[in-house]
Structure 1
């Protein structure tokens, strides 16, 4: 059976996954709601499979996948998410994910995915495979999106969620002026001209939703 690490910002989701996985004989060796402790744990624990959500509060699962590559962490990652956007499937696979599964999938499908990925195979849920196959060339990540640094991506999410420069600066230990500089830089990279455009872009890309608390 496999050693598994869970990364999801909802405790109830992690608890449910743990129950399903442990009932099937797998060992959940750790869990995290945020990328920072997850990175420290993963370098130490080296699990067989990582289950990763794409939306991690003010952070992104894409950011974490990119960080795995930068650090040379050879991890078998299954993205487990609500996002059914073709470009997100394509981006996750481009960043090294071995599997992509929607959160509405049955527990049996989750176990199939874990077994396949632990054995070194790729697993896409039927819906994700269809999305990946149907993704047009224009759905590939734009160079401007790829150019965002992890910090810029983090600030993008916080701006899109309606947080002020002062609030963002306090949360990230930056001056409001530094936050404004990051915001101007990321907006230029994405070709966005005002905050409303930032919010629309984040909604379109599935980074935030209209019903998000």
Structure 2
């Protein structure tokens, strides 16, 4: 899988575990960020294809970060796709995710290269994640 991925979460333990797991499954993890400011800088510097954004970034909102990424899309020469992640269930997040510019949602307990690819594919074929 040649997809370049940036993971954004305020939990160092989660970032370490997710980076290891996804890399072992063939994803190219280009970086990890702990907050929105670092994520925005890393997007420009690392040019990821997909950004996994935790819904709750400490005092910040992953939804706000998804909106910032979308708002700056015209400044980039490549597409960045956002997938929101959370330990909260899909049912708790579905309305908020649909109102956001994020393409999909993946439960952290189900996070894998396959679920990321499936989420991206489902948004491209017209179904919802």
Q: Which runs of 5+ in 1 are unaligned?
A: 130-213
CA drift of 1:49 comes to: 1.4
The answer to whether structure 1 residue 10 and structure 2 residue 8 are counterparts is no
CA contact (8 A) 2:83 2:106 kept: yes
User: Alignment partner of 1:122: what SS?
Assistant: helix
> CA separation of 1:46/1:93 partners in 2, compared to 1, >3 Å: closer, same or farther?
farther
Higher relative contact order (CA 8 A, sep 6+): 2
Q: Deviations along 1:113-147, whole A, 9 cap, x unmatched?
A: 222355x5429xxxx96xxxxxxxxxxxxxxxxxx
Measure the CA separation in 1 of the matches of 2:82 and 2:34: 16
User: Alignment partner of 1:28: what SS?
Assistant: strand
1:116 matched residue in structure 2: 118
User: Alignment partner of 2:109: what SS?
Assistant: coil
Q: Which runs of 5+ in 2 are unaligned?
A: none
1:51 matched residue in structure 2: 52
CA drift of 1:99 comes to: 1.8
Name the structure where helix makes up a greater proportion of residues.
1
CA contact (8 A) 2:55 2:84 kept: yes
CA drift of 1:25 comes to: 1.7
Q: State the TM-score, normalizing by the size of structure 2.
A: 0.79
Measure the CA separation in 1 of the matches of 2:72 and 2:38: 15
Q: State the TM-score, normalizing by the size of structure 1.
A: 0.51
The answer to whether structure 1 residue 23 and structure 2 residue 38 are counterparts is no
- Larger Rg: 1 or 2? 1
> CA separation of 1:122/1:66 partners in 2, compared to 1, >3 Å: closer, same or farther?
same
Name the structure where strand makes up a greater proportion of residues.
2
User: Alignment partner of 1:50: what SS?
Assistant: strand
> CA separation of 1:85/1:114 partners in 2, compared to 1, >3 Å: closer, same or farther?
closer
